[in-house]
A = this chain, B = another copy of it.
Amino acid sequence: MESGAICVHSNMVEDKENVANGEQVSKKGAKKLAKAAKKAEQKAETATAIAANNAAGDSAEDSALGRYGLSEMIQSKDKRSERNFVAVHELSSHLEKGLLWVRGRVHTSRSKGKQCFLILRQQSSTVQCILAVGDIISKQMVKFAGNIPKESIIDIQAKPVSVPNKIESCTEQTLELCVEQIFVISQAKAQLPLQIEDASRPENADDDGLNIRVNQDTRLDNRVLDLRTPANQAIFRLEAGVCRLFRDILTEQGFTEIHTPKIISAASEGGANVFTVSYFKDSAYLAQSPQLYKQMAIAADFDKVYTVGAVFRAEDSNTHRHLTEFVGLDLEMAFKYHYHEVLHTIGNTFTAIFKGLRDNYSREIESVGQQYKVDAFKFLEPPLILQFSEGVAMLREAGVETGDEEDLSTPNEKLLGRLVKAKYDTDFYILDKFPLAIRPFYTMPDPSNSTYSNSYDMFMRGEEILSGAQRIHDPEYLIERAKHHGIDTTKIAAYIESFRYGCPPHAGGGIGMERVVMLYLGLDNIRKTSMFPRDPKRLTP
């Protein structure tokens, strides 16, 4: 900032409001006018400016009185429709068009003699603002502007002016705002629990440890501030994009959105890791997955369904990738003859999401990249599909001992991701035909090899983000498989009953939304992609 540009106020334009208030400020007679103006303002029903409490005696000589101050609380007293607000990122198209209004936050502010340099932030956009003592700006006004606490919301009336040298510290680099009025709309505390500047600092900055880092708990404890960093603004806008793409792509293919209950009478996956809810005089549980309900919707002729909603896991896992509450992107689909009809639909949905993010969210990806190291996400089209047994072979070739029917451990999952990346140059792949023994009882066994099953996981950067399968739609076979797993079939009678009225073969899967965003961006912790994360130790804010 402070590129040396000077504001020239040669074409001073009074805005309507000032004229209406009868303020015709000049150096001569400023004192008299100021008094009159103050009186008029106090009377005016629509007055919003409360004079700043500057050093005693100064106010009498303040030529800028009424042009700055603390606004009274906006209580919807009037509509002020005459104020033409412009967004910061659109300022460049308003150059040389005279005065306009901008509302934003004080990102930084510093008065230095007769000037005040202030960076105004609006979401991820920043612009330099300048106040220089002169015909319009008084020294009290400069002082006032320099003292506004960071993060306060202000309204400024200003002229956008081109600057000769790029302003490197702002997103708007070719212009600055010459301020003529400045009012505080909502004042922030002087002492902030964290500085946006610190919270925004690039992780890989070569700073010899001299710069302040904000640790994760401080961030999450003060999420309202932390979310204001450019990276966080981008992460959650991209996250909204993931949901939108997921829904739009599936809607386009004839899927119907459904809503499934979160409070359920029986634990959906056997009773472990489930939260209990008091339900009037009874007890209930929080759903660990919408699966039963998706399957019921299939049995009820909805053919292809998806649901986006909260999923709960009472798992005491304190890792980088576990949350106790997350957003599930779940889908289920009837098929004609082969579950690969579904597997390909899901795989192609991921491809379309990756393309949509790449094409429509490049600005957000770049923003995140300015703080965190982000390698572009690579994917193949159509997606790579490997057999579980091929994955095992690749691991063994790399020297890992693992059984044919052994589930992938987290380190093996990660290693396989690296091996696949090295061999196929993709960050996304599908692993098909998991061993039957390690999948839930309702998983359809592979008809040609009883060791395996018609089930699959999908991976991003070597971490599982979807687990799915063909489900057994035949009630008698379901009972047989449940018994094989030692499950008390009386406890799942309602589930089994759903298939007694004719049910098409179907398959589906559940995606952890936060994981998709974390892994797409290559972030290291799922708490970075949950706006208000919940884990065994965190229930606030």
Contacts and interface: CB of A to CB of B under 8 A. Distances in A.
A264 B539 contact: yes
A280 B237 CA distance: 32
Interface string A331-355: 0000011111100000000000000
B227 A297 contact: yes
B224 A185 contact: no
A299 B444 CA distance: 49
B79 A340 contact: yes
A262 to B, nearest CB: 5
A151 interface: yes
Interface of A: 73-80, 83, 85, 103, 105, 122-123, 151-153, 185-189, 192, 223-228, 232-233, 236-237, 239-240, 243-244, 247, 251, 256-265, 275-280, 282, 284, 286, 293, 296-297, 299-303, 308-310, 312, 314, 316, 324-325, 327, 336-341, 444-445, 447-448, 454, 470, 473-474, 477, 494, 498-505, 513, 530-532, 534, 536, 539-541
B277 A225 contact: no
A264 B325 CA distance: 11
A14 to B, nearest CB: 20
A227 B276 CA distance: 29
Contacts of A316: 280
A447 B152 CA distance: 23
Contact of A500 (B188, B261, B494): B188
Contacts of A448: 77
A474 B123 CA distance: 20
A224 B337 contact: no
A210 B297 CA distance: 31
B263 A237 contact: no
Contacts of A189: 500-501
A341 B278 CA distance: 41
A152 B502 contact: yes
B336 A532 contact: no
Given A280-B536, A502-B105, A504-B153, A336 B80 contact: yes
Contacts of A277: 275-278, 286
Contact of A186 (B225, B226, B473): B473
Contact of A75 (B123, B293, B445): B445
Contacts of A223: 296, 300
Contacts of A152: 502
A291 B276 CA distance: 24
Contacts of A260: 531-532
